[in-house]
């Protein structure tokens, strides 16, 4: 980690660079931050350092006016509010750490007003589209050079996404022993290395069993294998999903995260309570899960307007 962070923020003076390295170490060890999160921190620090150029002296010397100027430039470039907020969240976290651990007296970003992020409704598949996608691996022609277990692996991956709503990073990190024998649950290591047990439906269990019978992965190794017998990467899962989307009638692009959205939305549509869905998704805050209530409310309103005889406005005068 030390070499990587030094490479990412090479324009910093030695003392400021050491602060960054200690912060990243703290986030990794004490907060359980994922490598994806740490990479985002490094990238955001690098962007700030590149913008500062030779003007950077120390973290203590950076004022609110400096960050206000960087914010102004980002807004002039018409960056998305979410991207701007992520950049400044990284720096706010660094300054909060320096105040606790390095005796810094104030956080120059504390009072900075950032553009409000636009909240979009999660894109998800309908039940019919999801069922079509789940059926594709076992009825799509297979490359003769591919292992015979490959379509069964793909079917198991898609069933597990839809059955459990797990993140892509959680899926590729699963080991072959993650499906707990005697219990209808899979053991998932989520953000912050928090472990949670997620129920697995019968279709997903059967798909995993069919795959395991053919692929026979090492019980202590990865659950989902690449063609070469190694652990699958997130990119290889996306490429697999893209392959089946090209064979489907689904009219928009789908990522593994949209399958997670589909899982949550279908649960709420069927009457699941928000708190249970929060726990299944592994959200630390209920507010993160509440975005899905907007989806179900929107659909409910559409159904009401279409079905109720007195739902539409009457144009005639009383």
Q: What is the pLDDT of residues 35-78, one digit of tens each?
A: 888 999 999 999 999 999 888 989 999 999 999 999 999 988 98
Determine whether 310 is an active site residue: no
Reduced 3-state DSSP string for 173-195: CCECCCECCCCCEEEEECHHHCE
Q: Which listed residue (42, 87, 167, 266) is catalytic?
A: 167
Q: Which listed residue (36, 80, 100, 257) is catalytic?
A: 257
Give the DSSP letter of residue 203.
Answer: H
Q: Residue 99 is encoded by which pair of tokens?
A: 């105040």
Q: Residue 217 is encoded by which pair of tokens?
A: 């992965």
How far is the C-alpha of 211 from the C-alpha of 193, rounded, in Å? 27
- pTM for the model stands at 0.62
Backbone phi, then psi, for 175, in 5-degree steps?
-100, 165
Q: Are 277 and 289 in contact (CB under 8 A)?
A: yes
Give whole-number Cα distances, 289 to 187, 282, 308, 310, 313, in Å.
Answer: 21, 10, 29, 33, 33
Of residues 158, 281, 203, the one with CA closest to residue 273:
281
The number of beta carbons lying within 10 Å of the beta carbon of residue 51 is 14
Stretch 125-144: mean pLDDT: 93
pLDDT score recorded for residue 93: 94
90-105: b or e for each residue (b if 16 or more CB lie within 10 Å)? bbbbbbebbeeeeebe
Q: Residue 193 is encoded by which pair of tokens?
A: 């290395």
Determine whether 42 is an active site residue: no
Backbone phi, then psi, for 271, in 5-degree steps?
105, 5
pLDDT score recorded for residue 133: 96
Q: What is the pLDDT of residues 78-114, one digit of tens each?
A: 888 889 999 999 999 999 999 998 888 889 998 888 8
Q: What is the pLDDT of residues 269-284, one digit of tens each?
A: 888 888 888 888 888 7
Q: Are 213 and 219 in contact (CB under 8 A)?
A: no
The number of beta carbons lying within 10 Å of the beta carbon of residue 114 is 16
What is the separation of C-alpha 203 from the centre of its chain, rounded to a whole number of angstroms? 24
Instruction: Say yes or no to pLDDT of 215 above 70.
Output: yes
Determine whether 124 is an active site residue: no
- C-alpha torsion angle, residues 182, 186, 192, 193 (rounded to 10): 50
Q: Residue 2 is encoded by which pair of tokens?
A: 């030390």
Q: Which listed residue (191, 196, 205, 231) is catalytic?
A: 191
Comparing 50-54, 115-119, 204-208, 236-240, which segment has the lowest mean pLDDT?
Answer: 115-119
Of residues 166, 175, 172, the one with CA closest to residue 204:
166
Q: Is the dihedral of CA 265, 267, 272, 273 positive or negative?
A: negative
How far is the C-alpha of 91 from the C-alpha of 46, rounded, in Å? 11
Of residues 304, 262, 295, the one with CA closest to residue 165:
262
Q: Kindly report the CA angle at 189 between 45 and 133, in degrees rounded to 5?
A: 95
Count the residues in the chain. Answer: 318
* pLDDT-derived band at 252, boundaries 50, 70, 90: confident
Determine whether 191 is an active site residue: yes
Determine whether 243 is an active site residue: no
Residues 6 or more apart in contact with residue 279 via CB below 8 angstroms: 196
Greater pLDDT, 18 or 297:
18
Q: Are 17 and 6 in contact (CB under 8 A)?
A: yes
Alpha-helix residue ranges (DSSP H) falling in 216-290:
234-246, 256-269, 274-281, 286-289
Determine whether 43 is an active site residue: no
Comparing 15-19, 136-140, 233-237, which segment has the lowest mean pLDDT?
Answer: 15-19
Q: What is the pLDDT of residues 157-206, one digit of tens each?
A: 999 999 999 999 999 999 998 886 556 888 888 877 888 888 999 999 99
pLDDT score recorded for residue 6: 43
* pLDDT-derived band at 318, boundaries 50, 70, 90: very low
């Amino acid at each position: 980690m030390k070499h990587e962070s030094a490479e990412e923020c090479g324009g910093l003076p030695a003392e400021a660079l050491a602060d960054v390295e200690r912060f990243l170490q703290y986030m990794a060890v004490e907060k359980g931050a994922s490598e994806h999160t740490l990479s985002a921190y490094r990238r955001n620090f690098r962007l700030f350092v590149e913008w500062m150029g030779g003007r950077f002296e120390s973290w203590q010397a950076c004022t609110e006016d400096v960050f206000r100027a960087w914010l102004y430039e980002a807004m002039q470039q018409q960056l998305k509010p979410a991207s701007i907020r992520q950049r400044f969240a990284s720096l706010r976290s660094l300054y909060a750490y320096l105040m606790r651990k390095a005796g810094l007296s104030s956080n120059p970003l504390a009072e900075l007003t950032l553009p409000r992020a636009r909240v979009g409704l999660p894109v998800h598949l309908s039940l019919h589209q999801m069922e079509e996608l789940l059926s594709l691996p076992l009825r799509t022609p297979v490359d003769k050079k591919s292992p015979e277990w490959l379509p069964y692996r793909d079917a198991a991956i898609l069933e597990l996404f839809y059955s459990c709503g797990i993140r892509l990073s959680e899926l590729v990190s699963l080991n072959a022993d993650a499906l707990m024998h005697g219990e209808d649950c899979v053991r998932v290591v989520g953000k912050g290395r928090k472990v949670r047990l997620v129920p697995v439906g019968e279709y997903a269990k059967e798909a995993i069993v069919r795959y395991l019978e053919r692929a026979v992965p090492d019980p202590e190794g990865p659950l989902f294998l690449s063609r070469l017998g190694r652990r699958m990467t997130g990119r290889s899962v996306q490429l697999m999903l893209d392959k089946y989307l090209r064979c489907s009638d689904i009219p928009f692009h789908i990522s593994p995260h949209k399958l997670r959205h589909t899982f949550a939305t279908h649960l709420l549509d069927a009457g699941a309570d928000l708190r249970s869905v929060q726990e299944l998704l592994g959200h630390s805050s209920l507010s993160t899960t509440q975005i899905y209530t907007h989806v179900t409310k929107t659909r409910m309103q559409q159904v009401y307007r279409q079905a109720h005889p007195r739902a539409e406005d009457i144009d005639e005068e009383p």
